[in-house]
Amino acid sequence: MIKVIKAGLYTSIQDLGRSPLQPIGVPMGGAMDRESAQNANALLENEPNAAVLEITMTGPVLTFTENAWVAFSGAIFPIYINQNIASTNTPIWVKAGQELRFGTLEKGVRLYMAIKGGFLNEPLLGSRSMQAHLSPIIKLEKGMELQHRSGEKDQAIILEKKSNTPLGAKKILAFQGPEFKYLNPEQQEGLNQQTFKVSNLNNRMAYQLLPSLSAFEKNQITGPVLPGTVQITPSGNIMVLMREAQTTGGYPRILQLTQESINALAQLKTGDSFRIKILPLN
């Protein structure tokens, strides 16, 4: 098992979520940057859906009580196992009794730590992802014990493989949403031309962007939404729904981010700037 000595800012267990339950209002959830989570799993020849740790901004301090293969992918932090520095995007053999800690975040936001065989917390509705309004625990707490299979030195691993998610992306790609056509030409132009920033309102549910567009009133009845759906509020605020977003929404859906761009946005933090490029989808 792994003992949580310090939890870090927001560390949670995530897999690829609960997409079949969207029709009954359960958010998809799962790793914010799916590509990096899957890459960490791939390094250990885990299933893509194996549960990993999602480490956000500040790393936890963890003690291993058993040997284990682990792999890191995503944001860049200095990673220390006891006093030795460890690399991302390559499997690492950790011995029982060793301590894992993290230095100051250098680039990106979210780092994924896979463990051979995945974390073995109790699945709920087909997923081990910790999720608000659903899981009894939504993030790691000091003193928790994380279950996993104990590792064997000769288990299958892959030597090196990088995540395709860019850190500090300057371009976010999106398709036109169903209500894009109702924006006025100035607002449509604004989406294409403006440089946007991630506001301080950003979490696993949504990212609010700055600046806002001009006010936009449209009578709209509630409809389905997905992670990556970009909504505009009546006062012109732009909200990008992220992995843990609700499944329906009442605001106009002006854009839909590409899968890769949801991952890329998950690696941007408050104040990071980027432009939006609108692509055709036919």
Partner 1 sequence: MLDAKEPKPPYFLEYHPYSEYALLIQWPQIVSENILEDLSAFKKVLQNNCPDAILTAAYASILAVFPERITSFPFLKAQIKKDYELFSEEKIKEHLDPKDQSKKIKNTIKKAKNTIKTIPAQKILYKIPVCYEASFAPDLEAVCTQLKLSPEALISKHSKATYTVYGVGFLPGFMYLGGLDSKLEIPRKSSPRMKVPSGSVGLAAKQTGIYPCESPGGWQLIGQTPIPLFNPLQDPPFFAQVGDKIQFTPISKDAYKLLQIQVAAGIYKIEKTIYTKP
Residues of this chain that interact with partner 1 (CB under 8 A) are: 19-27, 124-125, 133-134, 175, 177-178, 220-224, 226, 228, 246-249, 256, 258-259, 281-282
Residue placing its CB nearer to partner 1 in the complex, 83 or 282: 282
Residue placing its CB nearer to partner 1 in the complex, 151 or 228: 228
Angstrom distances, CA of residue 222 to CA of 126, 127, 213, 247, 248: 27, 27, 22, 10, 7
Separation CA 224–CA 76 (nearest Å) = 35
Burial per residue of 132-143, b for 16 or more beta-carbon CB atoms within 10 angstroms, e otherwise = eebbeebbbeee
Residue placing its CB nearer to partner 1 in the complex, 179 or 272: 179
Residue placing its CB nearer to partner 1 in the complex, 66 or 260: 260
Closest contact distance (angstroms) between CB of 266 and partner 1 is 16
Separation CA 170–CA 142 (nearest Å) = 36
Residue placing its CB nearer to partner 1 in the complex, 138 or 210: 138
Q: Which residues pair with 176 in a beta bridge?
A: 255
Closest contact distance (angstroms) between CB of 220 and partner 1 is 8
Closest contact distance (angstroms) between CB of 219 and partner 1 is 9
Beta strands, E only, 67-106: 68-76, 79-81, 84-86, 91-94, 99-102
Q: Is 234 helix (H, G, I), strand (E, B) or coil?
A: coil
Separation CA 21–CA 130 (nearest Å) = 15
Closest contact distance (angstroms) between CB of 245 and partner 1 is 10
Closest contact distance (angstroms) between CB of 93 and partner 1 is 35
Phi, psi of 106 (to 5 degrees): -105, -40
Q: Is 259 helix (H, G, I), strand (E, B) or coil?
A: helix
Residue placing its CB nearer to partner 1 in the complex, 84 or 282: 282
Closest contact distance (angstroms) between CB of 223 and partner 1 is 4
Beta strands, E only, 15-60: 52-56
